Structure 1
Amino acid sequence: MYEPNVIGDWQEYDAGHAGLRVRVHGLEKAEPPRGRDDAAEGLTYFRFRVTVENRTTEHFGIHLEDGQLDIRIGADGESAFLDWRNSQFIEGFDIYPLRRVTAVLFAAAADSSLSQVDIQVQLKVDDDWTDRYLWSGDIGLHEPAVGVGARPDTGADSLTAQVISFLEKEAGPGSAS
């Protein structure tokens, strides 16, 4: 694992799995379709998707289940609850050339920790384990949309405020705003 992907980015595989790519996307608050798990009492549910795309001329057998995902939330990287009963995994699916397959997964965590979500995925392809890759993002529950040239109303800790501060420092003193 080199550096984390941003949620929504594609990760290309190389070596023995060249032509396959995977992404974690669609991170949002959502209630599970078959009801809440008792173990998630007091937690906020969220949903995300893991999509595998085959850009080769051969087919691969794809396997993705709960033991191949690790979901960490908050600044301390605490484990989130993965609701395996409501999640739709990829279990032994043959993905043919120019096709995609998507798993829809439900997890739950404390609402206050959803400003930082890290999801690590390790696929099994034709009985071979792939490299693990990490995606980072947030659910965006705490930040309003910010227009061009506008300042966020949230505190200096918001991601938008950090980006604006970084860009202002890079521009240097005396640059026009």
Structure 2
Amino acid sequence: MYEPNVVGDWREYDERAGLRVRVHRLERSEPPRGRDDAAEGLTYFCLRVTVENRGTRHFGVHLEDGQIDVRIGPDGESALVDWRNSQFIEGYDVYPLRRATAVLYGAGPEAALSRVDVQVQLRVDEEWTERALWSGVVGPEGQGGCAPSTAVRDSLAHQVSDFLRAQAEEGTA
């Protein structure tokens, strides 16, 4: 059973030794160059996607608008993403022991921000990685982080995974 990462978790890429990525700092934040007219009545939030290289060789990383999908609320509706204010990683070489961070601004109805899913698909050295999903909640302005979402930890998928794990352990005992 596939379980999403919680906002703040690192995700390692097995096929690219040392390369890892995470979505973090999901918080309320107004964009630096003003609000998008389409965001009238919506609450803005900001998130960061960091790519880190803990390996021994450099990786050419590309992460732009079509490679990040943000869904909000229990029905997974698309968030308004403010591309004008967002900053991406475009053709950047991430050398060993270095990081690169993309900053994304989005907006949605206040009630829907209790659940945010972010799907990321990196392009590394001109090859696509598999998609990875992070789930969390938008924290208060200035919080600088995000507490793990209880909706994610207590979801039906998580309960089923726990049940199957317990059954497997009983079978081997």
Query: Match of 2:30?
Result: 31
Query: Match of 1:3?
Result: 3
Equivalent position SS for 1:139: coil
Q: TM-score, with normalisation over the residues of structure 1? A: 0.78
Cα distance in 1, alignment partners of residues 77 and 126 from structure 2: 30
Equivalent position SS for 2:114: coil
CA positional deviation for 1:101: 0.6
What is the CA RMSD across the aligned residues, in angstroms?
A: 1.9
Amino acid at match of 2:34: G
Gap regions ≥5 residues in structure 1: 142-157, 164-177
Runs of 4+ in 1 over 4 A off after TM superposition: none
CA positional deviation for 1:139: 1.3
Cα pair 2:89 2:102 within 8 Å, conserved: yes
Deviation per residue, 1:27-54 (Å, 9 max, x gap): 0000000000111111110000000000
CA positional deviation for 1:2: 3.0
Aligned residue-pair number: 145
Cα distance in 2, alignment partners of residues 139 and 23 from structure 1: 16
Cα pair 2:26 2:139 within 8 Å, conserved: no
Cα distance in 2, alignment partners of residues 76 and 34 from structure 1: 30
Ranked by relative contact order (alpha carbons within 8 Å, sequence separation 6 or more), the top structure is 2
Deviation per residue, 1:6-32 (Å, 9 max, x gap): 0000000012x2210000000000000
Query: Match of 2:95?
Result: 96
Which has the greater radius of gyration? 1
Cα distance in 1, alignment partners of residues 12 and 81 from structure 2: 25
Query: Match of 2:75?
Result: 76
Cα distance in 2, alignment partners of residues 82 and 18 from structure 1: 31
Query: Match of 1:114?
Result: 113
Query: Match of 2:58?
Result: 59
Gap regions ≥5 residues in structure 2: 141-148, 155-173
Give the structure with the larger helix fraction.
Answer: 2
Amino acid at match of 1:14: D
